[in-house]
Amino acid sequence: MTKMMNLSPETVSLLLLLALLSPTLLLCSGDSTTVEDESPPTVCIIGSGIGGSSVAHFLRNYSASTALSRSRILMFERHERVGGRMRTVTVSGDTFEAGGSILHPKNYHARDFVKRFNLTVRSPTAIEESSAVGIWDGKRFVFKTFGSSVKIPFVDKIVSWLNDVYMFVRYGLSLLRMSNFIENMIDNFLKYYESLESRPVFDSVEGMLKWSGLYNLTKVTLLEKLSEAQLSPLLVNELVTVITRINYGQSVLISGLAGAVSLAGSGGGLWSVEGGNWQMAEKLINHSDVTLHLNEQIESVSHLGDYYELKSAKGNIFKCDVTVVSTPLDEVDIQFSPAISIPKRELQHTHATFVRGLLNPGYFGMKSVSDVPALVGTLEDPLIPFSCISILRKYGATDMTYKMFTRQPASDSLLDELFSARTETVRIDWGAYPKYHAPEVFAPFILDDHHLYYVNAFENAASTMETSAVAGENMARLIVSRFMTKESSSSSPSSDTKSCSSGLHSDM
């Protein structure tokens, strides 16, 4: 009190002014402290396939300058393993792909994942490269290429040349037109690998497809597009049909884009990951600082104002700022609150049956199993009970492992007709891809007005491991972009902040 009395009038006035202003100063400075102390956002990803794992990977890569850089990523997988529809099966100690099996030479995200994580590329085996292909109409082989049982480069080249000539004699210039059709689609798809500066962030599937020039392919059937490209009916009904039945389990009435992607998957240079393609997802998850919850089936997603509440079948509850659905919603029962609206869609189930034993040559009207092509494709006929049968591994003249695709479960009676001997049988039922129609209708990438996203909306364009990675990369960019917009708007001066600063200015 004595010291205050000794201060000059000017000093006392200044102290009183500071005392009056101090609550306002504390309030203004306290805002930044709150932001710094704010807990990092939580991103929840439902599904651990290539789409969900790609979202996690690219979020880590693209969010350096945002609050998402400190985010916690939680991933939920309802099964006991990661990889989604990428999975392997073991037959007699040997491992084979049971889900997504092949990758194209221009699948650049998958190539990058393999290189980044030191995975090993598996090239086609000798039997896959040099074996004969036959087209079965239910009664006979309408077309059959030559196979080579001797793995000698010179012989292989002669056999390959003979097959090229044989196919050209049967299908003519339509083969070249089909090749051009595929290449045009691939050239457009390659735009999705352009630099971030020249490539927009897409908030809808339609916008993403229109930008690349692929949208119109989803409005008509593959049959219509190939007729427009002047492919012969013989080529479409035989070779193209065999390819679409193998790759998508469907006919040439699928949409044009899905059909073009399917045809691209029949070319040369195809590859996979040694030990299983699922390892790409595993590596992406492990290197993205993800908290993984296996055997955790999410049953409900509720938006509760500032966050999402996820409840699992185990009764666990998770609080998330961002929720990414990376599993097809067609066959999972997740309850959303508020309810979401997406077009109804069915999945095409592929029943993969692995058999170790020996194919019955009599079923195909042959005397010897060596006369049956190593890959048997089929025409579109409801009376033909399988889509394709191929040899995966040959242990001896009477001992092989086969893979068969059917649209319905393969009964024992069917297998007993097709095989003269079976020592091991493994059945896999997987909802592999959408049932494609034209024109396609797409679900939204953004399922609400906040931060609920759906990666698998892109599957109605085409469903492959690479298209899922492409969709996952765009999804990560979309989330980061919308967060940056939110941060920008929240960090800009509000009316309260403006009155705070203007008040200081006027008082001074």
pLDDT, tens digit, 9 for 90 and up, residues 85-98: 999 999 999 999 99
Between these two residues, 408 and 147, which has the higher pLDDT value? 408
Torsion angles phi and psi, residue 457, rounded to 5: -60, -30
Per-residue pLDDT of 351-399, as tens digits, reads 999 999 999 999 999 999 999 999 999 999 999 999 999 999 999 999 9
Residue 31 above 70 pLDDT? no
Is residue 45's pLDDT more than 80?
yes
Give the C-alpha separation, 278 to 242, whole Å.
26
Q: Which residues contact 196 (CB under 8 A, 6 or more apart)?
A: 477
> Which is it for strands 94-97 and 308-312: parallel, antiparallel or unpaired?
unpaired
CA distance 469 to 206: 17
Taking only the tens place, the pLDDT of each residue in 336-350 is 999 999 999 999 999
* Alpha-carbon span 156 to 20, nearest angstrom: 92
Nearest of 265, 262, 271, 247 to residue 110 by alpha carbon: 271
pLDDT value at residue 481: 94
The tokens describing 370, both together, are 């060596």
Alpha carbon 427 to its chain centroid, in Å, reads 23
3-state secondary structure (DSSP) of residue 484: helix
pLDDT for the residue numbered 488? 57
Characterize the bridge pairing of strands 308-312 and 317-320.
antiparallel
Three-state SS for 248? Answer: helix
**Would the pTM count as exceeding 0.75?**
yes
Can you give the pLDDT at residue 161? 87
Between these two residues, 487 and 292, which has the higher pLDDT value? 292
pLDDT for 157: 81
Model confidence at 126, pLDDT cuts 50, 70, 90, reads: low
**Tokens, residue 209:** 């497809």
Residue 32, Cβ neighbours under 10 Å: how many? Answer: 10
Residues 426-455, mean pLDDT to the nearest whole number: 96
Predicted confidence (pLDDT) at residue 315 exceeds the cutoff of 50: yes
8-17, 44-53, 308-317, 425-434: which range is least confident on average?
8-17
The reported pLDDT for the residue numbered 128 is: 65
3-state secondary structure of 476: helix
Average pLDDT, stretch 171-182?
A: 97
Average pLDDT over residues 161-166: 90
Nearest to 285, CA basis, from 423, 427, 472, 103: 472
For 110-119, what is each residue's pLDDT tens digit?
999 999 999 9
Task: Answer with the residue of higher pLDDT: 17 or 346.
Answer: 346
Instruction: Convert the pLDDT of each residue in 448-473 to its tens digit.
Output: 999 999 999 999 999 999 999 999 99
Lowest mean pLDDT among 306-310, 380-384, 492-496: 492-496
Share of the chain above pLDDT 70, in %: 86
For the sheet containing 452-454, what is the strand order?
Answer: 290-293, 72-76, 42-46, 322-325, 452-454
The number of C-alpha atoms within 13 Å of 179 and in the hemisphere containing its C-beta is: 9
Q: Considering only CA atoms, which of 461, 454, 451 is closest in space to residue 484?
A: 451
Whether 16 shows a pLDDT value over 90: the answer reads no
Question: Which pair of tokens denotes residue 252?
Answer: 């040439």
| Of 488 and 32, more confident | 488
Per the prediction, the chain carries an average pLDDT of 88
- Of 368 and 127, more confident: 368
pLDDT of residue 236 exceeding 90, the answer is yes
Q: Give 495 or 208, the one with higher predicted confidence.
A: 208
Residue 504 pLDDT class (50, 70, 90 cuts):
very low
Enter the DSSP assignment of 446: B
- Of residues 450 and 9, the one with the higher pLDDT is 450
DSSP state at residue 255: B
pLDDT digits (tens, 9 = 90+) for 242-296: 999 999 999 999 999 999 999 998 888 899 999 999 999 999 999 999 999 999 9
Q: Is the pLDDT of residue 152 over 80?
A: no
